[in-house]
Chain A
Amino acid sequence: MISLLITLVLVFLLQLLFYSWWWIILIPLVLGYFEKDSVSKAVLGNGIGVFLLWFGMSLYQWNWGGEIIVTRIAQVMGAGSGLVLALATGVIGFLVAAIAGYAGFSLRKTIIKEYQIS
């Protein structure tokens, strides 16, 4: 739960300041690396954190002045409705962050393992 919140808050702040989408790779990668307990935390904590952020932020934008643009883009992308579009945004965020979290976690394990062997 805490790792989820850390992901959410960190990515939120960095994206608010610097916009780039790849913060959802970088932060989960780093957080995954420092996640000592379990792989599921690294994967789900990051994944769900980013899902909630991206899905939530999409809903926020949609409701605050985004009615027209969301309807149009839903049509452009064949998404059916704004909700589908917001969910798709969240799911892509989840996928990317989860994989990044896993990669970070796995990297640390590899380094530790290599270190122990040598």
Chain B
Amino acid sequence: MRILKTVVAFVFLIGLFILLNNSQGSIPPLGKFLNPFAGFWQNGSRLDQIEEVLDVKGLRQEVKVVWDERQVPHIFAQNDYDAYFAQGFLTARHRLWQMEFQTHVAAGRVSEIIGSKALEFDKLQRRRGLLMAAEIGNNKMNEDPDSQLILQAYANGVNTWIENLTPATLPLEYKLLNYEPEVWSTLKTALLLKFMAWDLTGRNSEMDLSVIRSALGDDFVKRFYPVHTPRLDPVIPSAKPWRFDPLVADEIPPPFEPQFVRDLRMNEPDRDNGSNNWAVAGKKTASGFPILANDPHLGLKLPSIWYEIQLNTPNMNVYGVSLPGAPAVIIGFNDDIAWGLTNAGSDVMDWFEIEFSDETYAEYMYAGEWIKADLRVEEILIKGEDAYLDSFPKTRFGPLVHFGKHTLGNGHPVGLAMRWSAHEPSNEMGAIRSMNTASNLEEFYAALETFDAPGQNFAFAAKDGDIAIRHNGKFPLRAEDQGKFVRAGRDTTGEWRQWIPKNQLPSISNPWQGYVSSANQNPTAKKYPYYMGWDYDDYERGSRINDRLKAVNNTDFYHMQQLQMDNFNKQAQLMLPLMLKQLDSEGFSGEELRILNDLKTWNFVSDPNQKAAWVYKQWWLHLEKAIWEDELTLYGELRELPGRSVTAELLLRNKKNKHYDDIRTPAAEDRRTVIQNSFYQTVIDLQEELGPYGESWELGRARGTNINHLLSVKGLGRTDLFTGGGVGIVNATKKTHGPSWRMIVELGDSIKAQGLYPGGQSGNPGSPYYDNAVDGWVRGEYYNIHFLTSPTVSGNSKLALTHLRNYQ
């Protein structure tokens, strides 16, 4: 009996141990997690404590770090190695989990952390060749001694931090997910850079366009998916002449009709990953000095996408934001210049349908012959299960991303290969480093020579008075519309053969107008001799920025802030008068009349307290759908709609048009009826979602903004933020997307700068510095940036100093 009791007690105890020591689904291992000596209880704000002296193994000389009131580290090192080492060390201190997790996502290694539910995602990531691209990039970057030093110093710094961790100081998310950090390597930085390239260039509408073309014809595509959209105000002013002899792309035959692309749209980056930047010449500023402003729009997450930092050595003094996981400053300024980025949007990814000889995928048809494909084998480790081996063929068109489901009429299997410029070897690290130390436009442009992917519009301003903008990246030479549709890989006609020479890329410096700007619109007007893509953002943001920059003289920080926070909805200004004119209010209910009245008196400013702003937005979306849903629902899915400006043009110019008619109904709809019906439908939908017309319909409440944690864990994000702005508005804030870093720099005798981002320096959800800037971001309250010239803190109560002491 006693034995039995003992056995039962031990069985129970062992069971309890197993239960509490392991994750149960999404529940963390409670024994470990609740342990007050090492569990989440330890992840409080005490981790923010600033030490006066830290012994750091691996430094070459002593490094001084000044911390400001927002915990931005200002690193003063005596040599480059130590500067980047300290950057790695301190970034890991604040952001280790985030930087490592993002590289796991990029590499397709999420199954290692959360188990087989991420296997399909991991497979797709590998087949997209992100890991492959990072390996190629890592090799290329490590060939250059300068880049190698930077990357290795950074990695060493991160690893020194990891070695210093204890079970108690491990970041919270490791405890939640029950795993530990691994050694950092230069490959991880390469992965992060490729991940960013994917986020900014990975969206591709070729499959949809192929489906649309085969269903609705060439003319439909030409008319509704044009290269130059109505009202385009291009990045480079249309008047600029192009004085060079362009390369001529080979003619290509009409696109073929791919058979198997109907169901291939998944996990693509957000359409509105974009940004604003501009530079204003001294002749238009109050101080007489040039001003540069930039706000990159990305998916908003916590921990924040960016990490603010200053790096100072005897030959460098640079400030700005870095990507946690990559050394140097991506967007920022130094003693002489400032620069900002927006996504180029030019097409750097093409899809090819490849025919294979049999199920082994060993050979594919190219130019009438069977060519051998390289097989790449990927081992995907899965938490708690055996590893999964995946393999995919690599073709001259890139990795075969989608295959295994379809065969051609002749029985041959077929798949889709992805040609992507980020698969090419390139050294962005070297380019970024050179930008950080450039002191004039010439040096800055020289730095851009090795910046290939992702393509960006680089706005520039310098202390010597220069302003400039350049649409820069590695862009394939294309015939008109090449890359708009999926092409056949069996012939040579869609292949990339050459690149547009960098010195022929769209760029302009010191234009007479006194400013340059970009907002992801088409970089050039029709005169530019190269075709670079068509799927750019619409005109509204770019045009609004240019309107305001044109009008302004004596501009200053305040004006620049106002412009970044500008909520004017240009699209509504264009369309709402027409829509209201078409609306017949006879028979409207009291509530409908109130809504109508608010729309009539609305000033087109999408401030957070505006009900009309949200009603209009929804009305427009309903209207677009009413026009296009019938034609563009193909194979069970609503395909890429024409751009806003294209639909707007259709409505403005045509009272009657066959596209207004919903072919699924017996009635023959015209402009008036689609507008009327979509208004009714909008009101019905919003009433159902938000209740009676009132406060809950305000833009900031009905939409607002949620900044979720990277893992979307409820309680670790900031939700229901009262924000205005929106798509096509300079303040491009949306529900989960928006300006991720706002920066304004004036390049005078001393540099003045302001910044703002929706988060904070710390990645620890238990720190006040995790989200301390969120409320200011919502209200547009910028902070003054401390651009320090020396590590002196005496007399400034906002600053604190840490000595990182070399310890062997």
**Residue ranges of A at the interface with B (Cβ–Cβ < 8 Å):** 15-16, 19-22, 25, 29, 54, 57-58, 60-62, 64-70, 72-76, 85, 88-89, 92, 95-96, 99-100, 102-103, 106-107, 109-110, 113-114
Known: A96-B31, A110-B3. A103 touches B10 (CB 8 A): yes
Chain A's nearest CB lies how many Å from the CB of B667?
51
Would you give the shortest CB distance from A22 to chain B, in whole angstroms?
A: 7
Q: Does B167 reach chain A (CB closer than 8 Å)?
A: yes
* Shortest distance between the CB of A5 and any CB in chain B (Å): 18
- Neighbouring A residues of B47 by C-beta, 8 Å: 65
Q: Of A58, A76, A99, A109, which one neighbours B16 at CB under 8 angstroms? A: A99
Known contacts: A72-B716, A103-B10. The answer to whether A88 contacts B34 by CB under 8 A is yes
**Residues in B neighbouring A25, C-beta threshold 8 A:** 13, 17
Whether A19 pairs with B10 at a CB distance below 8 angstroms is no
Assess the B10–A65 pair: CB atoms within 8 A: no
In whole Å, how far is A68's beta carbon from the nearest beta carbon of chain B? 5
Asked if B64 is at the interface of the complex by the 8 Å CB criterion, the answer is no
A-B contact count (CB 8 A): 127
Name the residue of chain B whose CB is nearest to the CB of A73.
B40
Query: CB distance B6 to A19 under 8 Å?
Result: no
Q: Which of A16, A65, A70, A110 has the largest count of B CB atoms less than 10 A from its CB?
A: A65
Pick from A15, A21, A65, A75: contact of B46, CB under 8 Å: A65
- With a cutoff of 8 Å between Cβ atoms, the chain B residues found around residue A99 in the complex are 9, 12-13, 16
DSSP class of B's interface residues: helix, strand, loop or mixed? helix
On whether A92 and B20 interact (CB within 8 A), knowing A19-B166, A58-B41, the answer reads yes
Provide the bound-state CA to CA distance between A25 and B20, in Å. 11
Are A61 and B44 in contact (CB-based, < 8 A)? yes
**Cross-chain contact B44 with A72 (CB below 8 angstroms):** no
CB-CB under 8 A from B35, the residues of chain A are: 15, 19-21, 54
Interface pairs (10), CB distance under 8 Å: A57-B36, A68-B44, A72-B715, A76-B714, A76-B715, A88-B34, A103-B6, A103-B13, A106-B6, A113-B2
B234 at the A/B interface (Cβ < 8 Å)?
Answer: no
Give CA–CA (A25, B21) in the complex, Å: 12
Beta-carbon contacts of B38-63 to A below 8 Å, as 1s and 0s? 11111111110000000000000000
- Closest chain-A Cβ to B13's Cβ sits at a distance in Å of 5
Residues of A within 8 A of B3 (CB): 110, 114
- For B172, give the chain A residue with the smallest CB separation: A69
Give the most central of A21, A54, A75: most B CB within 10 Å: A21
Q: Bin the interface of chain B by size.
A: 35 or more
What are the residues of chain A within 8 A of B167 when measuring CB–CB?
A: 19-20
Q: Which of A76, A99, A109 has the most CB of B within 10 A?
A: A76
Check: B768 CB closer than 8 A to any chain A CB.
Answer: yes
Interface residue from A21, A29, A102 paired with B20 (Cβ < 8 Å): A21
Beyond A54-B36, A58-B36, A72-B715, 7 extra complex contacts between A and B, CB < 8 Å: A19-B38, A19-B168, A21-B34, A69-B40, A75-B715, A96-B16, A99-B12
Interface centre among B2, B35, B42, B46, by most A CB within 10 Å? B35
CB distance from A56 to the nearest CB of B (A): 8
The residue on B at minimum CB distance from A76 is B715
Instruction: Answer whether A61 and B2 are a contact pair too, CB < 8 Å, given A69-B766, A70-B41, A103-B13.
Output: no
Q: Which single residue of chain A is at the shortest CB-CB distance from B15? A: A99
Compute how far the CA of A85 lies from the CA of B42 in the bound complex, rounded to whole angstroms: 14
Given contacts A76-B713, A110-B2, whether A66 and B9 have CB atoms under 8 Å apart is no
Q: Indicate if the CB atoms of B37 and A106 lie closer than 8 Å.
A: no
B527 at the interface (CB under 8 A from A): no
What's the nearest-Cβ distance from chain A to residue B48, in Å? 8
